[in-house]
Amino acid sequence: MPGKSKRPWRKELKKQRRRRRRRKAAVARDLRVEEDEASKLKDPAYQLWLQQQSQLEEEQLRAAEKRHAEEEETWLRRDLLAQREFRLKQQQREAAEAAERAKRKQQAEELAAKEAEQRRRREERERSEAAAAAEFEQMLQCTERFLNTDGPAPAELRRVVESRPGQNLCILYDRTNCCRFGPSCANNHRRPLLSNIIVVRHFFMHPLLEQEEHKEYANADGGLELSEQDLREAYVEFFDDVIPELQGFGYLRNFRTVRNVLRHLRGHVFVEYLEERSALKAFIKLQGRFYAGRQLNVEFSSIENWRGAICGT
Ligand SMILES: [Zn+2]
């Protein structure tokens, strides 16, 4: 295109002219708008309208601000509530965890205490068993020495055995050496480890004594009643049977049989020797032996008042 390249200035000139025209037109247009506006401003109705527009805009702005403020407050309140709820839940969780930890700690402590207590009891039992075994061994040696020599009983055998040390004394046992509750009595049964008197429990048994306890049943059966004569004869027979053997252990000072129908006193025989050594021999020989189908149970006794012991109930 040679024409175009030869006259570039013409095109540029045209372009500048167009631009000037546009600018001029724009200025003229602005001027017209300003003039229009100025002339309109002179009109009171227009001024009122403008004022109203301005107020309206102002009110809209205020309303928007208020709404915005309310929304913000609502949001803040929600946020605050959420935070509070979160903190509350956190506190609850922490409290639950702390409670769980405390519980576990307490359980562990209880278990440890229980185990320690069991260990302590076991050790105590072992100690007490060992002590009892040692004591028994020593007792056997003392007993043997005492039986094989002529001297007085050693101090180890001069002891009083208590079933419940520290508890009230069982008056009945103290008086009669018998108690209906036996070893399960809540009171303290006291007896000497060695004495010159032994008591052989339920040694002399006779149907009449049992019948007297259940008299009404015996009578109802009829014809089974036993007489005092039977009892006396049986007792003489018993006496003749046991006295020689008992005398074999040493000189007898007293031989008393409890004629009491009560079960826990029935047929007990107190044997008093002149010497403790004889009573000890009798104790060793008779303990656990069978007589008339029953195993004998022998204990040392410190009975002083025979009347109280034999008739006591
Ligand atoms: Zn008792």
Alpha-carbon dihedral 172, 178, 182, 184, rounded to 10 degrees: 30
Ligand 1 centroid to Cα of residue 148, in Å, is 35
Ligand 1 centroid to Cα of residue 138, in Å, is 29
Ligand 1 centroid to Cα of residue 23, in Å, is 135
Q: How many CB atoms lie within 10 A of CB 279?
A: 23
Question: Phi and psi dihedrals of 150, rounded to 5?
Answer: -105, -10
Cα distance between the two ends of the chain = 157
* Entry pTM: 0.56
Please give the angle made by the CA atoms of 99, 104 and 109, to the nearest 5 degrees.
125
Tokens of 170: 């069982």
Ligand 1 centroid to Cα of residue 234, in Å, is 31
Ligand 1 centroid to Cα of residue 112, in Å, is 39
Q: Parallel, antiparallel, or unpaired: how do β-strands 269-273 and 252-257 relate?
A: antiparallel
pLDDT tens for the chain, residues 1 to 313? 444 556 788 888 899 999 999 999 999 999 999 998 888 888 888 889 989 999 999 999 999 999 999 999 999 999 999 999 999 999 999 999 999 999 999 999 999 999 999 999 999 999 989 988 887 888 888 888 898 888 888 888 888 989 999 999 999 888 888 888 888 899 999 999 899 999 998 899 888 777 665 555 545 444 456 678 888 899 999 999 999 999 999 999 999 988 776 777 788 899 999 999 999 999 999 999 999 898 999 999 988 777 666 554 4
Q: How many CB atoms lie within 10 A of CB 22?
A: 10
Nearest CA to 194 out of 68, 256, 280 is that of: 280
Domains of the chain: 161-311 (3.30.70.330)
